[in-house]
């Protein structure tokens, strides 16, 4: 997506440790006009499949998912990171290794909000090693819902999450794929 790539070049900051900072438009301050274009683009890409819910993970996925969901006219459900899993059987749960915080979170979603009838589009801001997406997919599988695809705003193609998910036959659509980035020069190379 040309508009997104231009914005990443203009405002993205390459940090050490393969981290791209996009705080000025995506992860801290949010450019709503850009988010709307992203929402339209995901709707165009996934127009051929039925979607009943958008599913993401807190915190940074929520804003994106909420705007994308308006173009699909469906609710957003987000998985919650939690300290203590309640054991009353009312939630699906899994563990997710956080890329940015280097720790493992217990992640839950209420059984009320994912059901076997649901057709799910997973949406997230970044795809790196794929742990977040895989955790969300595990929750979907626990619920018996159908995964229709994964929509990612920025995929770091030099990390192996996208490859792993696609090898499992999962439809992954990323609006920008970065093949290389350099924290010394600031250079970012996109895949086309
Ligand atoms: P994964 O689980 O695929 O390794 O990483 C995806 C998650 O980590 C995303 O939910 C995102 O919040 C965070 N993340 C991964 N890489 C980056 C990055 O380069 N920059 C930012 N801002 N977040 C990232």
For 10, the enclosing helix (H) or strand (E) is helix 2-11
What is the distance in A from the centroid of ligand 1 to the CA of 79? Answer: 15
Looking at residue 150, its pLDDT comes to: 98
How does DSSP classify residue 118? -
Q: Which residue has the tokens 């795809």?
A: 127
> What is the DSSP code string of 25-70?
IIISS--HHHHHHHHHHHHHHTTTS--SEEEEETTHHHHHHHHHHH
Kindly state the average pLDDT of the residues 3-22. Answer: 97
Looking at residue 87, its pLDDT comes to: 66
Both tokens assigned to 54: 């958008």
pLDDT above 80 (res 100): no
Q: Which residue has the tokens 């439809």?
A: 171
CA–CA separation, 192 and 161 (whole Å): 18
Both tokens assigned to 43: 């709707």
Both tokens assigned to 187: 């250079």
What is the distance in A from the centroid of ligand 1 to the CA of 143? Answer: 25
Query: 19: which strand partners?
Result: 15
Does 62 sit in the ligand 1 pocket, CB within 6 Å? no
pLDDT digits (tens, 9 = 90+) for 129-185: 999 999 999 999 999 999 999 999 999 999 999 999 999 999 999 999 999 999 999
**Structural domain boundaries enclosing 92:** 2-190
Does 130 sit in the ligand 1 pocket, CB within 6 Å? yes
Does 126 sit in the ligand 1 pocket, CB within 6 Å? yes
Which residue, judged by its Cα, is nearest atom 5 of ligand 1? 128
Both tokens assigned to 25: 């438009």
Q: Is the pTM of this model over 0.85?
A: yes
> How many domains is the chain built from?
1
* 6: CB partners within 8 A, 6+ apart: none
Does 99 sit in the ligand 1 pocket, CB within 6 Å? yes
Kindly state the average pLDDT of the residues 87-116. Answer: 90
Both tokens assigned to 188: 């970012």
pLDDT digits (tens, 9 = 90+) for 33-80: 999 999 999 999 999 999 999 999 999 999 999 999 999 999 999 999
Does 176 sit in the ligand 1 pocket, CB within 6 Å? no
CATH number for the domain including 74?
A: 3.40.50.2020
Which residue, judged by its Cα, is nearest atom 4 of ligand 1? 129
Could you tell me which residue, 36 or 101, shows the higher pLDDT? 36
Residue 168 burial (C-beta neighbours within 10 Å; 0-12, 13-18, 19+): exposed
State the pairing for strand pair 13-15/53-57. unpaired
Looking at residue 141, its pLDDT comes to: 98
CA–CA separation, 189 and 22 (whole Å): 16
Which atom of ligand 1 sits closest to the CA of residue 15? 19
Looking at residue 88, its pLDDT comes to: 77
Kindly state the greatest CA–CA separation across the chain: 52
């Amino acid at each position: 997506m040309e508009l997104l790539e231009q914005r990443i070049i203009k405002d993205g900051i390459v940090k050490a440790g393969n981290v791209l900072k996009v705080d000025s438009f995506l992860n801290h301050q949010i450019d709503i006009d850009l988010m709307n274009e992203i929402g339209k683009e995901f709707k165009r890409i996934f127009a051929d499949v039925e979607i009943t819910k958008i599913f993401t993970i807190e915190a940074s996925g929520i804003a994106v998912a909420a705007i994308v969901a308006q173009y699909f006219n469906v609710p957003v459900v987000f998985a919650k990171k939690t300290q203590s899993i309640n054991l009353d059987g009312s939630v699906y749960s899994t563990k997710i290794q956080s890329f940015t915080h280097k720790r493992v979170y217990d992640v839950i979603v209420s059984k009320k909000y994912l059901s076997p009838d649901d057709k799910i589009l997973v949406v997230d801001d970044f795809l790196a090693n794929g742990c977040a997406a895989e955790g969300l997919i595990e929750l979907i599988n626990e619920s018996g819902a159908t995964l229709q695809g994964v929509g990612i705003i920025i995929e770091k193609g030099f990390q192996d999450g996208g490859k792993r998910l696609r090898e499992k036959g999962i439809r992954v659509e990323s609006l920008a794929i970065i093949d290389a980035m350099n924290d010394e020069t600031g250079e970012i190379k996109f895949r086309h």
